[in-house]
Amino acid sequence: MTAYDDSNIFARILRGEIPCERLYEDEFALAFPDIRPQAPRHVLVIPKGKYVSITDFGAKATAEEITGFFRAVSLVAEKVGVAGSGYRMIANAGPDSRQEVPHFHVHILGGRNLGTLLVTP
């Protein structure tokens, strides 16, 4: 796995070098809208720690970080109004997934019926 790169765009957002609308923030996570939304609600949730992908996060994060992060994901889904109607949570990891930003993040997509396809044919 590639080493964490401090210059990635989400690291810069975490450091406040690039603005974002901070929808939710606590000691473990930050949530903000995706700049290119693919659903009426499209929010990114990122951990505060330096992890390249969910593979890296699952392998190296502490139990407290993992619990805190996924509690934040649940809170964000409530806060942006999709917990009741439903949503899809996606985490891309590595080249075949076309992960663009090498700082672990999950996408929360909702606000409409998302259909059954998980991948582009």
Determine the Cα–Cα distance for residues 1 and 121; give it in Å rounded to an integer.
27
In the complex with ligand 5GP, the residue whose CB is nearer, 25 or 34, is 34
Q: Closest approach of Cβ 20 to ligand 5GP, in Å?
A: 5
98 binds ligand 5GP (CB under 6 A): yes
> Catalytic positions, please?
105
Return the range that interacts with ligand 5GP (CB under 6 A); candidates 55-63, 79-87, 98-106, 111-119: 98-106
User: Burial level of 38, CB count in 10 A (0-12/13-18/19+)?
Assistant: exposed
Q: Which amino acid is at 31?
A: A
Q: Which of 23, 66, 75, 101 binds ligand 5GP (CB under 6 A)?
A: 101
Residues 6+ apart with CB under 8 A from 32: 13, 20, 21, 22, 23, 43, 44
With tokens 């009741």, the residue in question is: 84
118 binds ligand 5GP (CB under 6 A): no
In the complex with ligand 5GP, the residue whose CB is nearer, 9 or 114, is 9
Three-class SS state of 29: strand
Q: Which chain residues interact with ligand 5GP by CB under 6 A?
A: 9, 18, 20, 32-36, 44, 92, 98-101
